[in-house]
Chain A
Amino acid sequence: KAGVTQTPRYLIKTRGQQVTLSCSPISGHRSVSWYQQTPGQGLQFLFEYFSETQRNKGNFPGRFSGRQFSNSRSEMNVSTLELGDSALYLCASSLALAGGVTYNEQFFGPGTRLTVL
């Protein structure tokens, strides 16, 4: 089975721009979660999508949004970029149950390294 793929791997943007990151989960996985990783803050949960619906959301401003398509692929969008948005954005897929009863193991992609200048 192919692993989780993320595109692009590297991105350089300037303040005020917007960016869209893409994630393709492992085949059969319906849950996709997004995380922001920075040296100072560690792994911060952004949101989780299951069957095209946002099921959970972390404590990030509304500039961060996402969506999931019927094939479980997911995109994350950040509008009006700020310098502090520079980070590694990780996507993870899992075989989460429909009822959200439990989180199964997360399979992470290689991440998108976003640099905001």
Chain B
Amino acid sequence: GQQVMQIPQYQHVQEGEDFTTYCNSSTTLSNIQWYKQRPGGHPVFLIQLVKSGEVKKQKRLTFQFGEAKKNSSLHITATQTTDVGTYFCAGPRSNDYKLSFGAGTTVTVRA
């Protein structure tokens, strides 16, 4: 069945640096969603990408959907301590719309 893979699993970042987390699917996705879960909290929706090659920005966060709609990335610039948490990507399969979440990238920030 479909698997959504995320790398890296852990990202230790120096405050002020940039980093990117990647999401890859074995099958085509109708859309890709990104969520953030703070420690002790629940996942919170960040954004949804639908179109092939789509790029969206939210302040220091840049989200991209691949041309083949099988991969996506989240790039964070000038990391801040408020960026701490686990970032999940999720995509519904095009055939049966089951939503599959990646394992997440857990981000810690060194001040």
Task: For A48, list chain B residues within 8 Å (CB).
Answer: 99
Closest to A59 in B: B1
Q: A103-B31, A105-B33 are in contact. Are A110 and B45 (CB under 8 A)?
A: no
Task: For B78, list chain A residues within 8 Å (CB).
Answer: none
Task: For B97, list chain A residues within 8 Å (CB).
Answer: 56, 100-103
Closest to B30 in A: A102
Closest to A92 in B: B43
Q: A102-B30, A103-B31, A103-B33 are in contact. Are A108 and B43 (CB under 8 A)?
A: yes
Cβ of B104 within 8 Å of any chain A Cβ, yes or no, is yes
Q: A42-B104, A43-B88 are in contact. Are A106 and B99 (CB under 8 A)?
A: yes
Number of B residues with CB within 8 Å of any CB on chain A: 23
**Is the beta-carbon distance between B42 and A106 smaller than 8 angstroms?**
no
Q: A43-B88, A56-B96 are in contact. Are A105 and B45 (CB under 8 A)?
A: yes
Cβ of A66 within 8 Å of any chain B Cβ, yes or no, is no
Task: For B41, list chain A residues within 8 Å (CB).
Answer: 110
**Is the beta-carbon distance between A108 and B100 smaller than 8 angstroms?**
no
**Is the beta-carbon distance between B98 and A106 smaller than 8 angstroms?**
no
Q: How many residues of A sit at the interface, in one of the four size bands?
A: 20 to 34
Task: For B102, list chain A residues within 8 Å (CB).
Answer: 42
**Is the beta-carbon distance between B42 and A102 smaller than 8 angstroms?**
no
- In Å, the complex CA distance between A69 and B50 comes to 31
Most chain A beta-carbon contacts within 10 A, residue among B33, B35, B98, B103: B98
**Is the beta-carbon distance between A45 and B103 smaller than 8 angstroms?**
no
Cβ of A107 within 8 Å of any chain B Cβ, yes or no, is yes
13 of the cross-chain contacts (CB-CB < 8 Å) are: A43-B43, A43-B88, A45-B99, A56-B97, A56-B98, A90-B42, A100-B97, A103-B30, A103-B31, A103-B33, A105-B33, A106-B90, A108-B43
Pairs of residues from A and B, 10 with the lowest C-beta to C-beta distance, nearest first: A43-B101, A105-B45, A42-B103, A108-B42, A103-B92, A108-B43, A56-B98, A100-B97, A103-B99, A110-B42
